[in-house]
Amino acid sequence: MRDSSRLTRRAALGLTAAALPVAAATPASAATVIGGERLARDGIQLSGATGLPKKLTARSWLVADHETGEVLASYRAHQRLAPASTLKMLFADTVLGKFERTRTYRVTDADLADVPSGSSMVGVKPGITYTVHQLWQGVFLRSGNDAVHVLSHMNGGIARTVAEMQAKAEDLQALDTHVVSPDGFDHPGQVSSAYDLTLFARHGLHDDDFGAYCSTRTANFPAGGKKTFQIQNTDRLLTGAYGLRPYKGMIGVKNGYTSHAGNTFTGAATRDGRTLLVTVMHPANGGNEVYKETEALLDWGFGKGSSARAVGTLVEPLSEGGASASPTPSGGAKGAPGATGAAASSAEGTSPWRLLEGAAGTVVLLAGGAFALRRRRAAVAAAAKAEENQGS
């Protein structure tokens, strides 16, 4: 996805965020330590293993076991950063199960009127009829904001979809995430974290369709009439591109880029029956660096990281029996550095934001008070192993 500092008038009619400052490097609050107290500490968190890659430049990263949810190592896991298109994992977690794959939909001009200028596109055109299956291929393979917006309008509109995504994030206990747009495009206040993105990937991979889409390398996409064109997955560790080789055992899941967010990637790979999840956010260099650092962390996880003891855990969704957070004791963990307390407060949604949706420019006001409230309620929900290793 390419960044655009200005939205076109047409896009502004569809989606405008206001009243929230950009919070691209906001730390997790001391009261928001989901997954274990150690995940809020500054510096690398590791116990019982050695040999981490030495040249990691990412501002935040995390390695976790997909099956157990154990966080094997992390760096500023809860630091809130711009997620770019990796936020589409949450979009899929929220909307994927709503429509039958074979359902057809004829796209209108209004469905695409609010796609931000400069977006990544798969090539959806008004007047063409697509299956839901094809639209999801456009989302996962080409990170198409046009496909996201069509599916969002099928779901009742951009504002409704954003609200449902925010509710889904809360159910997943992804409390670092603030959703402003369903596509992950840069908007003031839209943030997530390495921890939350990993939660989205883990939850998504429990769904067969999610797993199938994120592991699809190529597909034929409608071009009108009986014509099609081939699209290829933009995950370079999956397909091998731009000088990279396909990573052994790679199964997805989602990459993202804007000039504001930089490169962000959550990847999953399986070897010898074990699946690891790695999220890397905002490495110092662009291009292939996010994939190289992901690859290095996966190699470590399958190798020397096999002896690592958990420093935290990926919590279960509240709707699936996950334990809700309880208040943090006084003198709790210090949040990761990166912004002032004022910036953190702003990122938590103490100001309302607006979404203008549809050609008529209907103004929908989404209050941020509930968002702030749930952050104040959030706290430690560490796994037993993480607590046992707290002082390691």
Return d(Cα 276, Cα 285) in angstroms, integer: 24
- CA 238 to the chain's CA centroid: 18
Q: Please tell me which residue in 47, 60, 74, 85 is annotated as part of the active site.
A: 85
Short-list 246, 95, 75, CA closest to 157: 95
Return d(Cα 343, Cα 314) in angstroms, integer: 26
Q: Please tell me which residue in 143, 152, 346, 351 is annotated as part of the active site.
A: 143
Return d(Cα 292, Cα 213) in angstroms, integer: 23
Q: Please tell me which residue in 47, 74, 88, 385 is annotated as part of the active site.
A: 88
88 flagged as catalytic: yes
Q: Please say whether the beta carbons of 131 and 101 come within 8 A.
A: yes
Return d(Cα 91, Cα 99) in angstroms, integer: 13
CA atoms within 13 A on the CB side of 287: 5
CA distances from 333 to 47, 52, 309 (A): 17, 24, 20
Return d(Cα 150, Cα 363) in angstroms, integer: 19
> Which residues are catalytic, by number?
85, 88, 143
